[in-house]
């Protein structure tokens, strides 16, 4: 299949990380997914920790979500017109993320971040933005600068085809380094429209913000009449039902979300304060549009997903965190010099590094990708599917059972022993 794909698809894949190049292997072709499991074309079964890189918080083919999508599909696949469920989804988002007083739906996270930055520039009447090394905000030209897992995996600080003029207004800082951000504001006084960041970076592996860092970023931006954009495409509805902003009790000016709010279908959204969002066309001059924005199938699946999260909110997030923490705790007990695990909520990353504090992009770049690839292949042979890149996060879903977690821990231990990691 991969050989045939190479003839008709660039690199044989429709998104680079799927190539398995980063783990020195060839891609696996998935036939179906159910619950916590993936089944490939060669009839192998895997416990899945990719979970489509985040959206499947209930696992694959959750019956209620699938039924909601099928019911919507029976009424039509796309309208190019308004429908009432767009309002319902926006209301649910506002209820769970109060900072998103108004929301505009898109078809992808990339569209959401691209539009949010345009909006911030228009609102502040400034051009420059600050982003952090290793944070990925979609494949927008001016954001492809030291930008997350894909570029890190393939050794590119940026991407060919991106004119220098497109990135000249993009300022780079190290995540968790407040001093660098302060210097950028001093050097670019009254020129910075916004800071965009993943509040919990997950596209260079999971990186945890230092205590108080996010609050200080908000304060610093607002002191300089700049906005803060939280890219919660991954953390939204995953760290908590209100995302990282609820988890850390913060209120950004604009938020970008996606993944979980589509229940497994393509979707994105950006939203924020009413006074900011109101300058979007047609109520204001800032243009943004999309034929498939608010797609009825994705919206229906998203509504059902959020309703299920709301119904299980009191126990679900605690359960997910316990499962992820169990994996971290059991591997930590081995006292290995060569593995550091970052974990928060249902997200975790195994960093193959002797550096016990992985808090920035520079730390991530010191990881041993070859050993990670070797461990990946050992796990795959035992039926454990982890991300095919050192620079991605593992995701725990509601479908992962205690036995799945136990089996995963044992497979990790065997793989670590076989590779002679100490």
Q: Tell whether 47 and 92 lie within a shared domain.
A: no
**What's the chain's average pLDDT?**
94
CATH number for the domain that contains residue 150: 3.40.640.10
Q: Tell whether 31 and 124 lie within a shared domain.
A: no
List pLDDT tens digits, range 388-408: 999 999 999 999 999 999 999
- Neighbouring residues of 133: CB distance < 8 A, sequence distance ≥ 6: 146, 172, 173, 174, 175, 360, 361, 362
What is the predicted pLDDT for the residue at 346? 98
Interval 213-229 mean pLDDT: 98
Interval 19-25 mean pLDDT: 94
Rg of the chain (C-alpha set): 21
What is the predicted pLDDT for the residue at 155? 40
Give the end of a domain, one of 243, 277, 310. Answer: 310
Interval 352-366 mean pLDDT: 94
Q: Tell whether 289 and 343 lie within a shared domain.
A: no
Q: Tell whether 101 and 37 lie within a shared domain.
A: no
- For strands 227-231 and 347-352, give the pairing: unpaired
Binning pLDDT at 50, 70 and 90, where does residue 146 land? low
Q: Tell whether 76 and 140 lie within a shared domain.
A: yes
Specify the number of domains making up the chain: 2
Interval 370-397 mean pLDDT: 97
CATH number for the domain that contains residue 29: 3.90.1150.10
Range of the domain at 21: 2-62+312-418
| Residue that the structure tokens 């010191």 belong to | 366
Q: HSE, CB side, 13 Å, CA atoms: give it for residue 414.
A: 14
Give the end of a domain, one of 277, 310, 343. Answer: 310
Give the end of a domain, one of 310, 341, 364. Answer: 310
Q: Determine what percent of the chain falls in helix, strand and coil, rounding each to the nearest 5.
A: 40, 15, 40
Q: Rounded CA gap, 323 and 405, in Å? A: 7
* pLDDT, greater one: 408 or 136: 408
Q: Tell whether 223 and 292 lie within a shared domain.
A: yes
Q: Which sequence positions are flagged as catalytic? A: 136, 231, 259
Q: Tell whether 143 and 291 lie within a shared domain.
A: yes
Provide the token pair at 358: 């992985």
What is the predicted pLDDT for the residue at 164? 72
Q: Tell whether 71 and 45 lie within a shared domain.
A: no
Q: Tell whether 102 and 229 lie within a shared domain.
A: yes
Q: Tell whether 21 and 45 lie within a shared domain.
A: yes
Q: Rounded CA gap, 324 and 320, in Å? A: 6
| Residue that the structure tokens 């550091």 belong to | 340
Q: Rounded CA gap, 40 and 32, in Å? A: 7
Q: Tell whether 53 and 119 lie within a shared domain.
A: no
pTM for the full model? 0.94
Q: Tell whether 199 and 295 lie within a shared domain.
A: yes
Interval 162-170 mean pLDDT: 77
């Amino acid at each position: 299949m991969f050989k045939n794909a190479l003839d008709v698809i660039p690199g044989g894949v429709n998104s680079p990380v799927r190539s398995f190049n980063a783990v020195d292997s060839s891609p696996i072709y998935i036939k179906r997914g159910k619950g916590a499991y993936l089944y490939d074309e060669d009839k192998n079964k895997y416990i899945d920790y990719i979970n489509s890189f985040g959206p499947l918080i209930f696992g694959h083919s959750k019956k209620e979500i699938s039924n909601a999508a099928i019911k919507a599909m029976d009424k039509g696949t796309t309208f190019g017109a308004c429908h009432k469920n767009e309002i319902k989804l926006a209301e649910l988002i506002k209820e769970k993320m109060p900072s998103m007083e108004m929301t505009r739906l898109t078809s992808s996270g990339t569209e959401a971040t691209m539009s949010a930055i345009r909006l911030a520039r228009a609102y502040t009447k400034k051009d420059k933005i600050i982003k952090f090394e290793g944070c990925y905000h979609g494949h927008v030209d001016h954001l492809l600068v030291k930008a997350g897992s894909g570029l890190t995996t393939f050794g590119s600080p940026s991407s060919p085809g991106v004119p220098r003029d497109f990135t000249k207004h993009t300022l780079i800082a190290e995540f968790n380094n407040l001093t660098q951000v302060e210097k950028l504001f001093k050097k670019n006084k009254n020129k910075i429209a916004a800071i965009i960041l993943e509040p919990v970076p997950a596209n260079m592996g999971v990186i945890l913000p230092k205590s108080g860092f996010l609050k200080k970023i908000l304060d610093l931006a607002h002191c300089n009449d700049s906005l803060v954009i939280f890219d919660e495409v991954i953390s939204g509805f995953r760290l908590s039902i209100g995302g990282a902003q609820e988890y850390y009790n913060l209120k950004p000016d604009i938020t970008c979300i996606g993944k979980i709010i589509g229940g497994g279908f393509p979707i994105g959204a950006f939203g924020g304060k009413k006074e900011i969002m109101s300058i979007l066309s047609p109520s204001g001059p800032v243009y943004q549009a999309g034929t498939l924005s608010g797609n009825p199938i994705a919206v229906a699946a998203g509504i059902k997903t959020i309703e299920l999260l709301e119904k299980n909110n009191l126990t679900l997030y605690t359960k997910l965190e316990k499962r992820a923490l169990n994996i971290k705790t059991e591997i930590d007990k081995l006292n290995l010099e060569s593995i550091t695990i970052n974990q928060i909520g249902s997200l975790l990353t195994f960093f193959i590094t002797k550096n016990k504090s992985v808090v920035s992009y520079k730390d991530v770049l010191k990881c041993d990708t070859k050993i990670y690839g070797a461990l990946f292949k050992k796990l795959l042979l035992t039926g454990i599917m982890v991300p095919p890149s050192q620079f991605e996060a593992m995701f725990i879903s509601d479908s992962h059972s205690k036995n799945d977690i136990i089996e995963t821990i044992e497979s990790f231990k065997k793989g670590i022993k076989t590779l002679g990691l100490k």
